[in-house]
Structure 1
Amino acid sequence: MTATQYEVHDPATLELVGHAPENTAQDVEAAVAAARAASAGWAADREARRNSLLAGAALIRRDLDALATLLSREQGKPKAEAAGEFSVAAGLFEYYADLEWDSEQQLSPRADRSLEVQYRPVGIVGTITPWNFPISLLCVKLAPALVAGCTVVAKPSPSTPLSTIALVNLLNEALPAGVLQVRTSSRRTVNVALSTSPGIRKISFTGSTEVGISIAQQAASTVKRVTMELGGNDPAIVLDDADIAVTARGIVGSAFRNAGQVCMAVKRVYVPRSRSAELAEAIAVEAARHVLGHGIADGTTMGPMHNESQLKLVHGLVDSAVGAGARILSGGTADCDLPGYFLSPTVVIDAEPGMDLVEHEQFGAALPIVAYDSLDDTIAGLNAGEFGLGASVWSQDQERAYATASRIDAGTVWVNQHTVVEPDAPFGGWKASGVGRERGRWGLEEYLETRVINARPHA
């Protein structure tokens, strides 16, 4: 395998964290060959797979502190949140190890024949994951793929490869050789190689809609299956009877988690005009409680943006909104002595539909608040947009909130909460926000092929 490496830097201090291999297309094909050699044995023993997943979860919990420190340094998030990612990963391994599912299903009998549906692993899987949640977004793919009997070649983001390498090395203490491998690159070389390799039978991707479209087009050349969790621009829709304090805490807890770099975070707030000033002030107060700093430092509750280009993008969207008449109520500055990509939680008021900050996913620490006059018009406008990953409704009237939630075109709609996912509930997007589902039995089915045995007795 190639010996060339590239550097990985801490987004808070800009210091060198480590080096990762600059893998090639040939390295990917070597991984595919090893995965193919391991496939038959791995698929044959379901109990061994279950035991390997449970052993992997135990190893993660054993090394949690060291793993969290590494992830915090290369990604930027507070160490407690990094540890949370690995805990989620261990929980996913345990959930899928214990999930009951039938590998065969008998259909209703016919007069002269029997029908059995068999569920078998799809084959070698390529996972392509982003930098915002490198571990949990990998393991939500990895756990069901492995329990289904698939072998996996994992490709992390170029800027957060070290924690994935560490995780794969750790899990390989519990897995047979060739079942799980990782390939890294600072370029798109490995992405393209995975997407176009005839040996890879499925791609599971999380990232931007733009990149997802490109990967799907590449995968189509070899008729691969794809699961894609793509962009989102999640609205929080506040009804006129909402508890302002509860709503502000919930929105801030979602909108500025991981410096706002969460696919399903609140990205924009819609509030009745009569309550907009009150809610905006409460959100600004809650957001100001954040302490910016190095993720591994005590007291830090919010780290930097992950890279310079993302920071510039968010600044540009905020500046554009201000130029069009919006105002910054709080934040907008670095508020940190470190040289990294910091932006304090930025609350933008007097935002209007049509502004880029409102209509485009900012994926960062800025939150526009839009005052509305008609709930029906607001929902119609949101449903006409390109995204449909998540949304939330905030109200003290549960029946009214539920009715409103049921009108929103999105894969998940929360009531009086946001950014909450469950291991046994399907997660994914409508429209440009994705294809397929992850988590629960739905996530497992993405890694299974069906075969029907239609049998008639010999005459």
Structure 2
Amino acid sequence: MQARYDVHDPATLERVGSAPLHGAEDVDCAVARAVGAGPGWAADRGRRREALGGGAEALRSRAGEIGRTLSLEQGKVLREAVGEVLVAADVFDYYAALEWEEQERLPERQGREVLVQRRPVGVVAAITPWNFPISLLSVKLAPALAAGCTVIAKPSPTTPLSTIALVDAVAQFVPPGVVQWLTGRREVNRALSEHHKVRKISFTGSTEVGAAIAAQAAPTVKRVTLELGGNDPAIVLPDADAQFTAAGIVGSAFRNAGQVCMAVKRVFVPAEREAELVEAIAAEAGRLVVGRGVDQGTTMGPMHSRSQRELVEGLVRDAVESGARIASGGGRGTELPGYFLEPTVVTGAAFEAPLVATEQFGAALPIVAYTDLDDLVGRLNGQEFGLGASVWTPDLDKAQALAERLEVGTVWINQHTQVELDAPFGGWKASGIGRERGIYGLDPYLELRTVNAREHSTSTPTAAPAAASAG
């Protein structure tokens, strides 16, 4: 009998359900099924389009059900959880309609015909985290299916139930073995990463785990896409409107209790406006209502685990002990027994303080004053992460000029956390390898092949010029 483990609500600590505890043998079986289903699936692009469209419709029809499951197991606000499922449906529709060439003919040369073909990479393992298990799976699963790959989805151990629901909703439109799910712990991740018949890993999560997965995948020389950590700064310029800026920053920083890779993690404000902006941001954060995600009126749920809350609280405590102060929050905000932390705004922390310099990934937001913008940009560019950043000013020319100087994958202007279906998303430096979304998110699931042909004749073929030899 298959072993199972329980999944709990981080707001109430109650049992939500259970999932199979899969292991390496289950990985072998799933990979064998995926390999067997591959050729037929890769050969029928029309069927792939229909399946993606059907998957989108199924997700929309089940958005309320899957969203509630997601809210219960992850903790996020129900409205946001349902929205995440609807976003996934949009992603499926986008890749169903996306036009791309499976083959192109290069200009003829010296009697040779040269074709460049795009073919599916093969079996894909999509390994996703607990903070956005549905939307982050969709940007892997939909383009992989569009490309003709078969996919094994492996969610975080703490949020498996919504992923199971998503995969099952899509699987009804594809042949057996094309889309599968496996649940369990890191043993499954390792087995997928090391399996010689898994040809691509697409992983979203921490930099530490991503580096380990890349190392495990290296001996079999499989492709790896890594969407990793971030410590996104919001840079407020002296002419920014305080209320507009505060609303935008708080909306990003405390979304999903701050557990968003691309959320505002720290705010840099002009020293001459520090008091005004701290007051505005603290007031905006104070309007959030902490509670269980599925309860009416809640606008911010719990943190996902005890360890994550303890980490963030420790960073806040360290900052305060070093001279910073809490401008708002710091308590629990509710009598519920779960992993709650009020939206906490901290001012006066040093640039080097761990709360500022590391990715805290939770419901705390440090605000740091700056006096020299050029120095600030240089220090930010010198740090390890490069996922995103935002610039806040009514002067768009000034904002665009600053955006050019920031070493990150996405720069937002007067907003933060907005992503587009057709624009690439990913990070520089330790924030990742590769891109997702748009045509840019399809390419990693395709292999290029060159077919170079000349006419057959009885004459002796001429050798290729030395300069054209590849090795």
Shorter-chain TM-score tier: over 0.9
1:452 to 437, 444, 450: 450
* CA–CA distance in structure 1, aligned partners of residues 106 and 13 of structure 2: 60
Aligned to 1:131: 130
Deviations 1:71-121, CA, capped at 9 Å, x for gaps: 000000011000011001000000000000000011122122121100000
* Offset at residue 170 of structure 1 (A): 1.4
Pairing of 1:296-445 with structure 2 (within 5 A): 296-445=294-443
Q: Do residues 48 (structure 1) and 47 (structure 2) align?
A: yes
Aligned to 1:25: 24
* CA–CA distance in structure 1, aligned partners of residues 158 and 275 of structure 2: 39
Aligned to 1:113: 112
* CA–CA distance in structure 2, aligned partners of residues 153 and 376 of structure 1: 46
* CA–CA distance in structure 2, aligned partners of residues 229 and 105 of structure 1: 30
Amino acid at match of 2:140: K
* CA–CA distance in structure 2, aligned partners of residues 64 and 370 of structure 1: 40
Question: Partner of 2:309: helix, strand, or coil?
Answer: helix
Amino acid at match of 2:204: T
* TM-score normalised according to structure 2 size: 0.96
Aligned to 2:245: 247
* CA–CA distance in structure 2, aligned partners of residues 341 and 107 of structure 1: 58
Pairing of 1:86-165 with structure 2 (within 5 A): 86-165=85-164
* CA–CA distance in structure 1, aligned partners of residues 229 and 239 of structure 2: 30
* Offset at residue 175 of structure 1 (A): 1.4
Aligned to 1:206: 204
Q: Do residues 69 (structure 1) and 97 (structure 2) align?
A: no
Question: Partner of 2:220: helix, strand, or coil?
Answer: coil
Question: Partner of 1:105: helix, strand, or coil?
Answer: strand
Amino acid at match of 1:121: P
* Offset at residue 402 of structure 1 (A): 0.5
Aligned to 1:35: 34
CA RMSD of aligned residues (A): 0.6
Give unpaired runs (5+ residues) of structure 2. Answer: 458-471
* Offset at residue 168 of structure 1 (A): 1.1
How many positions carry a matched residue from both structures? 457
* CA–CA distance in structure 1, aligned partners of residues 152 and 334 of structure 2: 38
Deviations 1:325-357, CA, capped at 9 Å, x for gaps: 111000010011110000010000012110000
Structure 1 segments (4+ residues) deviating >6 Å: none
* CA–CA distance in structure 2, aligned partners of residues 110 and 416 of structure 1: 51
Q: Percent identity?
A: 64
* Offset at residue 34 of structure 1 (A): 0.5
Pairing of 1:140-289 with structure 2 (within 5 A): 140-185=139-184, 187-289=185-287
Question: Partner of 1:194: helix, strand, or coil?
Answer: helix
* Offset at residue 212 of structure 1 (A): 0.3
* Offset at residue 205 of structure 1 (A): 0.1
Deviations 1:286-332, CA, capped at 9 Å, x for gaps: 11111111111111110000000000000000001111111100001
Question: Partner of 2:193: helix, strand, or coil?
Answer: helix
Amino acid at match of 2:338: G
Deviations 1:176-195, CA, capped at 9 Å, x for gaps: 1100000011x211000000
Question: Partner of 2:7: helix, strand, or coil?
Answer: strand
Question: Partner of 2:391: helix, strand, or coil?
Answer: strand
* CA–CA distance in structure 2, aligned partners of residues 7 and 193 of structure 1: 22
Amino acid at match of 1:49: R
Give unpaired runs (5+ residues) of structure 1. Answer: none
